[in-house]
Amino acid sequence: MDREADFGGDGMAKLSNRGKAQRDRGIRCERKYAKELAIYGFKRVPLSGAAGRFSPGWSGDLARGSGIIQRIEVKHRKSAFKSLRNWLAEGDADALLIDTGGQDPALIVMDEDVFRRYLDLELPDLVGQEAGGQP
C-alpha cells in the first residue's frame, strides 16, 4: 500500500474531496432551512456535527430557545427514504409512526408542509414571548 496515497508528505491524513463535498452540501441544506424556518425562531448551530458529540448545547443542526420542538437534525438525501414517503402516501396520512418494538421510543415522520402547519400553531405564543408577553 502506498502511504503517500492516503497521507500527505508530512504524514497528515488528507481530507478527501468527497467528504468535503458532502459536508458542504449538508451545510448548504442547513443554511437553506435555517433561513426558511427563521420565522419560527430557528437558527443554524455552527459546528453542530463536531461539537454536538461533546456538548449537548451544540447538538442539532437548527435550534431555538422555546417551543415544543427546539432542535432539528437536518439530513440531505437525494433519493433516500422512499419507503417512508410510500407509507405516508398509502394511507394518505399526515404523519407516520414507526414502532421499534419497545426497544427505543417510536419515531414520528411527517411531510414538511404538515410540520410547518404545526409550527404555525406555536407562532402566536412565540411572538408573544419575544414581545415580553406571557407564554
- Segments making up each domain of the chain, as ranges: 13-76, 77-135
Q: Which residues contact 44 (CB under 8 A, 6 or more apart)?
A: 30, 31, 34, 61, 62
pTM: 0.69
pLDDT at 7: 47
pLDDT of residue 127: 62
* Of the candidates 2, 116, 1, 130, the residue with the CA atom closest to the CA atom of residue 66: 130
Q: Which of 50, 109, 107, 40 is nearest to 80 (CA)?
A: 109
Residue 123, Cα to own-chain centre: how many angstroms? 20
Q: What is the pLDDT along the chain (135 residues), one digit of tens a residue?
A: 444 444 455 544 455 566 888 888 888 999 999 999 999 999 999 866 555 455 556 568 899 988 889 999 988 887 778 888 888 888 889 999 999 888 899 999 998 999 999 999 988 776 656 545 444
